[in-house]
Amino acid sequence: MDSHFLGIDIGSSFTKFIVIDDTKEVVFEEIIKTLSRNRQAFEDIKNEIDQRFNVIKTCTTGYGRNSFKGDIQKTELICAAKGVTFYSSVHKCIIDIGGEDIKIIECGPAGEVINFTMNDKCSAGTGTFITEIADKAEIKIDEMNDMARNSKSEKVINSFCTVFAKTEILGWKFNGVSEEDIAKGIYLSIVSRICKLPVQTEIPIYLCGGVIAYHPYLKDLLIKDFNREVEIIPKPQMVIALGAALFALENR
């Protein structure tokens, strides 16, 4: 029977599963919500994987990596570097926009983490920030990206604090600011937050994480601010789980 290797990224919002074979080909992937009272969905997917594949090693990562007993555990930083390097083996800067934080990772050609910065003091510019502000603005998350693309506004939410940003959004609504301009204003706020972090623009820049998977217009805004090309890594929400699976393979 072929050997397989499982990576599980238990994030603050979603849990991602990836199974690879010994040639590093992805043979299974799935995403479920993390914040659910019903743990059965996790167990169902794990049982399906166990039935379909001969899993030799499992690596867990993410906020909840210690909540499931895998064979090895790795941090999201290390797994992001490993996963992105699978697609690009160059000296690079990774911007990982997650549910609760933004990570800036300088990564070497072999996937080694050289340096990193996190804005873990608050949720400004993260998936949680987008969800809460969009909800206050009564904008559907799955419509935000197209709305923002149709806006010509450069009006930005100035408050990084979610509470103050909600108040600012209410003021915009009372003043008749369009949904398109509000959507873009939310994105511009995220870009402003990222640009205050030590992003190394002299080396290739790659975006990953769940936020960029659902809000790819952020890439266009970052290109404009950085005045250089920025790339979204393939399947950006899954790349950390991929990194975990690759570590499982290496530790077979």
What pLDDT shows up at residue 240?
97
Residue 67 has what pLDDT? 83
Give the pLDDT of residue 22. Answer: 95
* Residue-level pLDDT at 122: 63
Residues 6+ apart with CB under 8 A from 208: 80, 83, 84, 94, 95, 96, 97, 232, 233, 236, 237, 239, 240
Break the chain into its structural domains and give their ranges.
4-81+238-250, 96-232
pTM above 0.85, yes or no: yes
Percent share of the chain, pLDDT over 70: 96
| Residue 44 DSSP symbol | H
Range name among 28-32, 103-107, 127-131, 235-239 with the lowest pLDDT average: 127-131
pLDDT bin (cut points 50, 70, 90) of residue 121 is low
- Residue 69: pLDDT band by 50, 70, 90 thresholds? confident
**Those residues with Cβ within 8 angstroms of residue 224's Cβ, 6 or more apart along the chain or in another chain:** none
* Banded model confidence at residue 139, pLDDT cuts 50, 70, 90: very high
Higher pLDDT, 102 or 125: 102
Lowest mean pLDDT among 23-32, 163-172, 197-206, 235-244: 163-172
Q: How confident is the model over 4-37, as pLDDT tens digits? A: 999 999 988 899 999 999 999 999 999 998 866 6
Type of residue numbered 5: F
Locate 179 and state its tokens.
Answer: 């949904």
CATH fold of 4-81+238-250 reads: Nucleotidyltransferase; domain 5 (3.30.420)
pLDDT for the residue 188? 94
Rounded CA-CA distance 165/197 in Å is 20
Which candidate, 148, 131, 105, places its Cα nearest to that of 210?
131
pLDDT, averaged across the chain: 92
What CATH number has the domain spanning 96-232?
3.30.420.40
The beta-strand segments (E) located in 45-190 are 55-61, 72-73, 92-97, 102-107, 113-118
Supply 2's token pair. Answer: 């072929």
Amino acid identity for residue 171 in this structure:
G
Instruction: Tell me if domain 4-81+238-250 and domain 96-232 are identical in fold.
Output: yes
